[in-house]
Structure 1
Amino acid sequence: MPDRTLILGGARSGKSVAAERLLADFPDVLYVATGGDDSGSDEWAARVAKHQARRPATWGLIETVDLVPLLASPGPPLLIDCLTLWLSRTMDALQIWSDLSRADVVENQIAALGAAWSATTRHVVAVSNDIGAGVVPADPGTRLFRDLMGRLNTTISLASDQALYTIAGRTLPLT
């Protein structure tokens, strides 16, 4: 298995299942959930429960967006699910939505993540949404998010040993 793999696809395309399959032979994977806590949302709780039910009991779990230290430290393989939520939560934490002119701060975070991804000694698989193929969003904040998501996916893809695209449960190599 390649050391660094990015799996892209649309919403509900099977990206997470594909990532879990890639790491199925490793008993001690650390699942990195970037979604955060959406307390009180039955829909979110149901989605989390489905993910948890699929994973082997031997896999660990950490909920964080602080990916750089994880990538920099030795340890078991990482499954990062997902970079889209990482970007959204990073933009929230940096208060970019209220001041879109500060996008360079997020670009620096993307560059740091890309450098850590390139340098990691771990097996790592990341899941991310491909959101750039639709219509151009009407509002500036959503356009910025789409543009930054494209930059993030490109940064991680170009630093990966393998990039895959999942559609309708089928996973195709990107060459």
Structure 2
Amino acid sequence: MRTLVLGGIRSGKSQWAEAEIAAAGAVRYVATGAPPGGDDEWSRRVAAHRARRPGDWVTAETTDVPGALRSGPALPTLVDDIGGWLTAEMDRCGAWTGGSVSGSVDDLVAAVDAFTAPLALVSPEVGLTVVPGTAAGRRFADELGVLNQRLAATCERVVLIVAGQPISVKEPS
């Protein structure tokens, strides 16, 4: 089953997704965030995520999420998070200044659609706060909102995490 796990910052979405997919046994964890690179606060966040993972999980730190999904379609996988992937793709495609990520989004959605093992995709939910005050922030929110909608249509299950509590948005039919 493919599950899209949505939530705001610090909502508990990563922890919920980790606990949910842990039932699959050994898991491949695809981490999309940028390496800490001298940012102490970011380093602590990354370290906390790493410390929570069971010892038999394999971690791949990459922004090539479609490639990672295609390279191991039979491995239970958790991707954390789609916002990190989108940021990297927007950088790569020049989307902050008018470039398009539509081809990248199509590729990701196709890779998710073809994935056959248990899959959890963690993504920030947009629209739960103020409209971003910059053009780049609005562009990111718009792109992420469209991407989340496309992933939700592809996934059998969608869960919204609020204050650590799961709310079922879509269940398998």
Of 41, 44, 50, which aligns to 2:42? 44
Corresponding residue for residue 134 of structure 1: 129
Of 51, 54, 65, which aligns to 2:52? 54
Is the aligned partner of 1:168 residue 2:163? yes
Matches within 5 A, 1:51-130: 51-73=49-71, 74-97=73-96, 99-100=97-98, 102=99, 105-130=100-125
* Number of matched pairs: 169
Gaps of 5+ in 2: none
Shift of 1:29: 0.3
Amino acid at match of 1:166: I
Instruction: Name which of structure 1's ranges 131-140 and 119-128 shifts more when overlaid on structure 2.
Output: 131-140
- 2:80 and 2:108 mapped to 1: Cα distance? 14
Amino acid at match of 1:49: A
Shift of 1:21: 0.8
User: 2:8, 2:128 within 8 Å by CA — same for their partners in 1?
Assistant: no
- Taking only aligned residues, the RMSD between alpha carbons, in angstroms, comes to 1.3
SS at match of 1:23: helix
SS at match of 2:160: strand
TM-score calculated relative to the size of structure 2: 0.92
User: 2:36, 2:46 within 8 Å by CA — same for their partners in 1?
Assistant: no
Instruction: Name which of structure 1's ranges 65-74 and 144-153 shifts more when overlaid on structure 2.
Output: 65-74
User: 1:111, 1:155 within 8 Å by CA — same for their partners in 2?
Assistant: no
Amino acid at match of 2:12: G
Taking every aligned residue pair, what percent have the same amino acid on both sides?
Answer: 40
Of 117, 136, 149, which aligns to 2:144? 149
1:23-80 per-residue CA deviation (whole Å, 9 max, x = no partner) reads: 1123310100000212111111111111111110000000111111222233421100
SS at match of 2:51: helix
Corresponding residue for residue 13 of structure 2: 15
Shift of 1:143: 1.1
Amino acid at match of 2:52: R
